[in-house]
Amino acid sequence: MSHPNSSSRCSHTLSGDITALIPLCKCSPQFRVLASKMAPFLLLFFPLFTQGLLLSAAQPSNSKTFIFRINSESKPSVFPTHYHWYSSEFAEPTSILHVYENVFHGFSAHLTQDRASSISNHSSVLSVFEDRRRLLQTTRSPQFLGLRTQRGLWSESDYGSDVIIGIFDTGIWPEHRSFSDLNLGPVPRRWKGVCEAGVKFTARNCNKKLIGARYFSKGGEAGSGSVGPVNPINETVEFRSPRDADGHGTHTASTAAGRYAFRASMSGYASGIAKGVAPKARLAVYKVCWKNLGCFDSDILAAFDVAVADGVDVISLSIGGGDGVVSPFYLDPIAIGSYGAVARGVLVSTSAGNDGPSGMSVTNSAPWLTTVGAGTIDRDFPAQVILGNGRKLSGVSLYSGKPLNGKMFELVYPGKAGLLVDSLCMENSLDPKMVKGKIVVCDRGSSPRVVKGLVVQKAGGIGMILTNGISNGEGVVGDPHVLPACSLGADEGEAIKSYIKSSANPTATIDFKGTMLGIKPAPVVASFSARGPSGLNPQILKPDLIAPGVNILAAWTNAVGPSGLDADSRRTEFNILSGTSMACPHVSGAGALLKSAHPDWSPAAIRSALMTTATISDNRNQPMIDEASGNASTPYDFGSGNLNLGLAMDPGLVYDISAHDYVNYMCSIGYVENEIQVITRIPVKCPGRKAVPENLNYPSFVALFQGASKGVSRKTFIRTVTNVGAVNSVYRVKVESQPKGVIVSVKPSELVFSDGVRKRRFVLTVTADTRNVVVGPSGAAFGSVSWTDGKHVVRSPIVITQVVPL
DSSP H/E element including 456:
helix 449-458
d(CA 540, CA 661): 14
Q: Output the 3-class SS for 614-670.
A: CECECCCCCECEECCCCCECCHHHHCCCECCHHHHCCCCEECCCCHHHHHHHHHHCC
Q: Give catalytic status of residue 581 as yes or no.
A: yes
Task: Give the contacts of 582 (CB within 8 A, at least 6 positions apart).
Answer: 138, 251, 252, 255, 318, 374, 548, 549, 550, 552, 554
Q: Give catalytic status of residue 6 as yes or no.
A: no
Q: Which segments within 335-417 are labelled E, that is strand?
A: 347-351, 370-375, 379-380, 382-387, 392-396, 409-412
Task: Give the contacts of 629 (CB within 8 A, at least 6 positions apart).
Answer: 357, 473, 474
Is there a contact between 724 and 651 (Cβ–Cβ < 8 Å)? yes
DSSP labels, 161-219: TT-EEEEEES-B-TTSGGG--TT--PPPTT----B--BTTB-GGG--SSEEEEEE--HH
d(CA 36, CA 543): 62
Listed residue (196, 194, 142) closest to 587, CA to CA: 142
Is there a contact between 610 and 545 (Cβ–Cβ < 8 Å)? yes
DSSP labels, 320-347: E--SS----GGG-HHHHHHHHHHTTT-E
Rg (CA), the chain: 28
Pseudo-torsion of CA 13, 15, 19, 20, nearest 10°?
Answer: -30
| Residue of 423, 581, 778, 784 marked catalytic | 581
Is there a contact between 243 and 322 (Cβ–Cβ < 8 Å)? no
| Residue of 3, 248, 251, 598 marked catalytic | 248
* Cβ-based neighbour number of residue 392 at 10 Å: 10
Residue type (1 letter), 674: N
d(CA 548, CA 556): 18
d(CA 22, CA 710): 77
d(CA 215, CA 199): 11
Pairing label, strands 370-375, 545-548 = parallel
Is there a contact between 85 and 249 (Cβ–Cβ < 8 Å)? no
**∠ Cα 595 601 606 (to 5°):** 70
Q: Return the exposure string of 678-698: e unless at least 16 CB atoms fall within 10 Å of the residue's CB, then b.
A: bbbbeebebeeeebbbbbbbb
Phi then psi for residue 760, to 5 deg, are -135, 145
CA 633, chain centre distance (Å) = 22
DSSP H/E element including 498:
helix 490-502
3-state class percentages of the chain: helix first, strand second, coil last, to nearest 5 = 25, 25, 50
Q: In the sheet where 96-100 sits, what is the strand order?
A: 96-100, 106-111, 64-70, 125-130
* Cβ-based neighbour number of residue 432 at 10 Å: 10
| Residue of 131, 162, 169, 626 marked catalytic | 169
Q: Give catalytic status of residue 248 as yes or no.
A: yes
Task: Give the contacts of 200 (CB within 8 A, at least 6 positions apart).
Answer: 239, 241, 243
Is there a contact between 705 and 713 (Cβ–Cβ < 8 Å)? yes
Phi then psi for residue 779, to 5 deg, are 80, 15
d(CA 39, CA 59): 29
Instruction: Give 202's Cβ-side CA count (13 Å radius).
Output: 1
Active site residues: 169, 248, 581
